[in-house]
Structure 1
């Protein structure tokens, strides 16, 4: 088992940057013995563990330490703070994110979370080498080359699939692994591992749970987009693998302004479905008048304002949420979703919420603002890299190390990388309620448990 130790750690400052507003410049950890520019008396928080469990044992959850007070120097410095070229003991971690341009806010939040993880790990051998990709594949390739020329042994990021596609071959030539925040399966493999929350696992989880409640007949109403395509494929596969039926799927352009004709067509199609067999058992959740219901559940892979506009149209066209269960993906991870009555009682799959809630509390205490949802991925990934770096292993970031079958435990629950570069996560099933959501089927504590 590998565990993080509680050691003092200091963070350097960026050029002209502030904690409150994010870090517009480059920020790097300083290697042992190198000159350091740090704020006075930084906090030394308790340690946090990122654990690899023994075979067959549950992945221990990382303890939740009190939030560190990350006082980062805000005065402009004469130049970027670099690791000295002669520091052979330093393990350099490239961190590629859009630190300027339209996605700078997201990129800076990811970088802040990575710094927070290094603060908790408190290991002077770890050097973070942030590089600004500007959200562009050409720039991502250039800064990845630069970081690897400076000795980066692993790359965290980039954020987008086209960036990962540009960086992957360059890293592979040097034998450097890439841990990308993308969810696009097409860029996974050959040394590129994906970190993002993929819709296929969310669909598999929520449909699998619905099947345990006796639901067999499913329908899908999804946007005609890359995300909608991924959900449609996953829904078809999940229903077949669990012995259910996907009886209807309707698609609509993602930029459709008026969803009324879309839902009317969908509802008409449901009414035209063949009736159930009299021998077919009713779902355990809603046994009454099951023969009159065309399907047991409808999957709606939308989120935010689009979902709120779509949901009330379903009961308007007689798709009653009291008898037909509405299902969602991680896009439903929205605390205000219960304000739409049609969605109350709906189910979706996502990481257990208490982990991100604790991470969010610590992040806000440290940086003075709430984190974006993806920030916890940056924390968990940086912590994982730091833990692997502590092993007495000449190749700490090998395929064998990254694809440990027992996986790892972080703020977003257990996860493990598969040999094809995809990530597998332990997800919970949540039910939408008027004041938030509640877990109705907990996330697994180990990959040794029966599959969801």
Structure 2
């Protein structure tokens, strides 16, 4: 769970007529959880680990647009299909997942136009602008941050909704963040500890706008449980290092019950080591990390015992076995995002038709069930997820709770 920007109140569940909410949830639940015959459930998430992985299609020349399905609702999907490296690999996985979702759910409900951004921000901007003017009811992607920021700056009541796929994007009105980002993870982890009784927190956050977004999310998430941020401190290359950060904290606050470190691209280990050296951990003080810690590895013994709320990449839900059998390579979280966004479009089209693609529907407080769990979008474009809660134990993530506090 994560907080609510600008307010600590839970959103009202009466924003949509009950019949509409029920119809939408039933459509999406059938799409993604209970339909064993269509999805070919694995039965045991661990079975996916036994596959002999191959790989998605390789990077290459820019691809032509691809049209899938013949439904009355037009949807655009912008992916870095021909990009090199991890960007292209992720884009091609999302494309394969979209094809599977269309075959399972969407062929008669939506027409999906998939275009290749090639991982180029300028090309992504151009394609995104074209998608907005194409008559599409929904745009899925792009993954390029600059193009997403451009979309967020475009106003207009007739602009289609956007499910953005950029990394570490925190959302904007009408341009929703699909991927789990650090603000989501840190807020959910802090809330899970606050739900157990901790009330006084310190946040070390990344420098810049990303850190400010994380501060807002963590503070509002804590407020739901009667907890608060005593202080929030930027941490990164220009802040003077770990020792100074810890000294600043001790000068400003005493006896915190929780310390949250969401340091963006900065390795959290030196900061954790400095906290331990001062004796600030292990005395009734809980350490909470973020999903970005995983980028740096969890093997450092100083990280032992910290908590992280994040997705479980080994269990992406009921589509895993179906995907593996279809494509003969391992699914990952990119597959989940690709499948879920197309399935969401199909679910809305099925339940409500073309007129269902509105902010009121997308921002339903009830949320949607996807292959990464239950999620919803807020009016500020941020995504919220119920996700597993882990403790770092000998360099591994050990499951503590199957889901952080629900929304």
Fold agreement, TM-score > 0.5? yes
Deviation at residue 88 of structure 1 after TM alignment:
7.4
Q: Structure 1 length as normaliser, TM-score? A: 0.65
- Match in the other structure for 2:344: 384
Q: Any stretches of 5+ residues in structure 2 without a counterpart?
A: 1-21, 43-47
Contact 2:70 2:110 in 1 (8 A): no
Deviation at residue 343 of structure 1 after TM alignment:
2.0
| Cα deviation digits, residues 114-147 of structure 1 (max 9, x gap) | 2232233263554332112244554234324545
Residue among 209, 217, 223 paired with 1:226: 209
CA distance in 2, matches of 1:263, 1:73: 43
Deviation at residue 72 of structure 1 after TM alignment:
10
Q: Secondary structure of 2:25's partner?
A: coil
- Match in the other structure for 2:97: 113
The structure with the largest helix share of the pair is 2
Q: Secondary structure of 2:403's partner?
A: coil
In the alignment, does 2:77 pair up with 1:95? Answer: yes
- Match in the other structure for 1:65: 40
Residue among 288, 294, 304 paired with 1:327: 288
Contact 1:267 1:318 in 2 (8 A): no
Deviation at residue 327 of structure 1 after TM alignment:
0.4
Deviation at residue 221 of structure 1 after TM alignment:
2.5
Q: Any stretches of 5+ residues in structure 1 without a counterpart?
A: 1-49, 276-293, 445-449
CA distance in 1, matches of 2:67, 2:205: 49
CA distance in 1, matches of 2:228, 2:57: 59
Residue among 260, 267, 272 paired with 1:306: 267
| Cα deviation digits, residues 348-400 of structure 1 (max 9, x gap) | 22246664276566555544554553442221111111222223634242334
CA distance in 2, matches of 1:334, 1:365: 29
RMSD of the alignment, in Å? 4.3
Contact 1:156 1:178 in 2 (8 A): yes
| Cα deviation digits, residues 79-132 of structure 1 (max 9, x gap) | 957659xx9755432111223445323322322222232233263554332112
- Match in the other structure for 1:143: 127
Q: Secondary structure of 2:188's partner?
A: helix
Q: Secondary structure of 2:103's partner?
A: helix
Residue among 228, 231, 241 paired with 1:262: 241
CA distance in 1, matches of 2:155, 2:232: 40
- Match in the other structure for 2:258: 297
Deviation at residue 243 of structure 1 after TM alignment:
3.5
1:322-401 correspondence to structure 2 within 5 Å:
323-332=284-293, 337=298, 339-351=299-311, 355-356=315-316, 363=323, 366-371=326-331, 373-391=333-351, 393-401=353-361
Contact 2:77 2:112 in 1 (8 A): yes
CA distance in 2, matches of 1:207, 1:374: 26
Residue among 385, 402, 405 paired with 1:442: 402
| Cα deviation digits, residues 57-83 of structure 1 (max 9, x gap) | 9x9845562479999999x9xx95765
Deviation at residue 301 of structure 1 after TM alignment:
1.2
Contact 1:263 1:317 in 2 (8 A): no
CA distance in 2, matches of 1:273, 1:170: 41
CA distance in 1, matches of 2:383, 2:231: 29
Contact 2:79 2:95 in 1 (8 A): yes
Contact 2:195 2:225 in 1 (8 A): no
Distance verdict in 2 for CA 1:406–1:354, change over 3 Å: farther
The count of corresponding residues between Structure 1 and Structure 2 is 366
In the alignment, does 2:102 pair up with 1:123? Answer: no
- Match in the other structure for 2:25: 53
- Match in the other structure for 2:276: 315
Contact 2:165 2:179 in 1 (8 A): yes
CA distance in 1, matches of 2:386, 2:245: 32
